[in-house]
Chains A and B, each alone.
Chain A
Amino acid sequence: MASAKPSAGSRPVSPHLQIYSPLVNMMMSIVHRITGGALYFGTLLLAFYLVSAASGPEAFAYASWLFSTPIGLLILFGYTWVLLHHMLGGVRHMIWDTGRGFDLATVDKLCWGSLVGSISLTILVWAIAILL
């Protein structure tokens, strides 16, 4: 393992990402990791919101204004989807952790389900937010 320098051409190379057509399970796996990474830094938004609320009315008004700008709303909308998608992806992985749902038809269903579910839930959450 110490000298794992790939010398291209001399040895056969395992097929990598660029050779596969993008299947839904592969895409959802990648997106799960990306959304996880986004949520990692997204906690800064939660910290910002909580600190501004704890700091007083002026700070809170500023944070509220920031979140109500078009860019702020776009970030919050994206945050909502990222959070819900990672959440449903996590549920999918919990199902797989039990050893169930590994036949191809179920894998596809679970992956499409998490995508469709996260988009639907995001729209539902925002519809409730707007109607409230």
Chain B
Amino acid sequence: MTTTLRPTPSPNEAQIRTPLARVRGLGSAKDGTEHFWRQRVTAVANLFLVIFAVILVLRLVGADYAEVRETLSGPFVTVALTMLILSGVIHMRLGMQTIIEDYIHSEGLKVVLLMLNTFFAIAVGATCLVAVLQLAFGS
């Protein structure tokens, strides 16, 4: 990318970033505020979905298998659990990504852990989702 500095930048205005880069606002990691924003959006979703899940678990205390199956196969519960799983694994993947980036300074290990982080989030998410769908539609 060609750098087009303004002719006489004052000390305060002197920037290496191009005007285009400034307008895009994506920063050096090229994803701007996406990480921050997704973390917040899923956090708000999780707040409501976790409260729902806690109430759901309380309702299932002491229930036998047939009652548990019946409760977990209801459409409202299925949709809410699906959203909790999706929002939850996105949120936790972003959070663990931050932890890895903060503490792992060896580039190779960091890349491996970031990949494993994504694999783990998707594996847990897929497992939970399939179980929830099996509860909803299975015999």
Contact = CB atoms under 8 A, between A and B. Distances in A.
Contacts of B135: 50, 53-54
Interface stretch (A12-20, A33-41, A101-109): A33-41
A50 B50 contact: no
Interface residues of B, number: 31
A4 to B, nearest CB: 9
A47 interface: yes
Given A40-B92, A94-B44, A132-B62, A46 B128 contact: yes
A120 to B, nearest CB: 14
Given A43-B88, A54-B131, A60 B68 contact: yes
A38 B16 CA distance: 41
A97 B92 CA distance: 19
Interface in A1-43: 33, 36-37, 39-40, 43
A94 B54 contact: no
Nearest to B138: A54
Given A50-B131, A87-B47, A90-B46, A97 B40 contact: yes
B15 interface: no
How would you classify the secondary structure of chain A's contact residues: helix, strand, loop or mixed? helix
A128 interface: yes
Task: Output the residue of B47, B54, B81 with the most chain A CB within 10 A.
Answer: B54
A74 interface: no
A122 to B, nearest CB: 10
A43 B43 contact: no
A90 B47 contact: yes
Contact of A132 (B44, B61, B89): B61
A125 B54 CA distance: 8
Contacts of B138: 54
A90 B50 CA distance: 12
The 10 closest A-B CB pairs, nearest first, are A50-B131, A54-B134, A54-B131, A51-B131, A47-B127, A57-B65, A40-B92, A36-B95, A43-B124, A129-B61
Interface of B: 40, 43-44, 46-47, 50, 54, 58, 61-62, 65, 68-69, 72, 81, 88-89, 92, 95-96, 99, 120, 124, 127-128, 130-132, 134-135, 138
13 contacts: A37-B96, A39-B92, A40-B95, A47-B128, A51-B131, A53-B65, A53-B69, A53-B135, A54-B131, A61-B65, A83-B54, A93-B43, A125-B58
